[in-house]
Amino acid sequence: MQPASVDFLIQLAMQAEAQPLISHFRLAPARALSPNAPAQLFTGTAHGRSIALVTHGRDPHFHCDRIGTETATLVAHLAICACHPRLLVSAGACGGFQTQGGAIGDLYMPTRFFFHDQRVAIPKLEQFAIGDCTVSDHPAFRAAMRAKHGICATGSSLDATPSEMALFARERVTCKDMEAAAIARVARDHAIPFIAVKVVTDLVDDHEPAESAFARNLSKALVRLVDALDALIATQVSSQVAPPG
């Protein structure tokens, strides 16, 4: 069964990111969102609120999680249409920045999102490609999760070029991921309130490659993510949450 509407829709790219949340909230598998997309939907309740959790699913050809912006867009759209959430949450791992005070396990709730690797030097298309989007802050959520403020840069690569590193420094980016700006755009299309909750698994400005730091730190970082999302769902929000502007 798919829910008619839910309080929280939580979107995660990877099954490994989602599993601790599925266990913690005792979520049950729901009907597939589409026969043509491997995304997986889970539902349940916690603290008296209804929750849907969606993962991007495993690619049937490459046998790995469908991380990244293309799937993020598709899955956000399908899951919003199926679940009609009151709040959409892009959750999961991100790269952090020591130069911005970031450390492994830090939890961010960024309010600005943009694409850092979509370069189109044509008026209007350039702004569209960068997709700069600022969402409303929600102090009650932030306080409940003890989340840091931040700026999230989204792209299609785990590594970063020297020019992207310069851009991150110029824009004081605190989180680098592969989904959030895409999901923010879909939330705006649907006029659905949106937040991102990102936990640092690796440091972009450290000498260690992201892939090895990610693997080593993921499970510890996810403990912090579960704790934060539990606190988020327990928060009674009286104020209206606004869609991305």
Which pairs count as long-range contacts for 208-215, CB under 8 Å and 24+ apart, including other chains?
209/159, 210/95, 210/158, 210/159, 211/158, 213/104, 214/93, 214/158
Closest residue to ligand SAH, judged by C-beta, is 95
Smallest distance, ligand SAH to C-beta of residue 24, A: 20
Q: Which stretch binds ligand SAH (CB under 6 A): 42-50, 90-98, 121-129, 182-190?
A: 90-98
**DSSP codes, 141-165:** HHHHHTPBP-EEEE-S-SS--HHHH
Judged by CB under 6 A, does residue 185 bind ligand SAH?
Answer: no
Residue of the chain from 67, 75, 91, 107 that contacts ligand SAH (CB under 6 A): 67
Angle between helices 69-83 and 180-189 (to 10 degrees): 40
Residues 3-22 that bind ligand SAH (CB under 6 A): 13-14
Judged by CB under 6 A, does residue 176 bind ligand SAH?
Answer: yes
Dihedral of the alpha carbons of 209, 211, 214, 215, in degrees to the nearest 10: -130
Judged by CB under 6 A, does residue 201 bind ligand SAH?
Answer: yes
Q: What is the CA radius of gyration of the chain?
A: 17
Dihedral of the alpha carbons of 55, 60, 66, 70, in degrees to the nearest 10: -110
Judged by CB under 6 A, does residue 66 bind ligand SAH?
Answer: no
Q: Which helix (H) or strand (E) holds 113?
A: strand 112-115
Q: Which stretch binds ligand SAH (CB under 6 A): 81-89, 102-110, 196-204, 231-239?
A: 196-204
Judged by CB under 6 A, does residue 215 bind ligand SAH?
Answer: yes
Q: Which stretch binds ligand SAH (CB under 6 A): 19-27, 139-147, 211-219, 226-234?
A: 211-219
Q: Which stretch binds ligand SAH (CB under 6 A): 33-41, 132-140, 165-173, 204-212?
A: 204-212
Instruction: List contacts with ligand SAH (CB under 6 A).
Output: 13-14, 67, 92-95, 158, 176-179, 201-202, 204, 210-211, 214-215
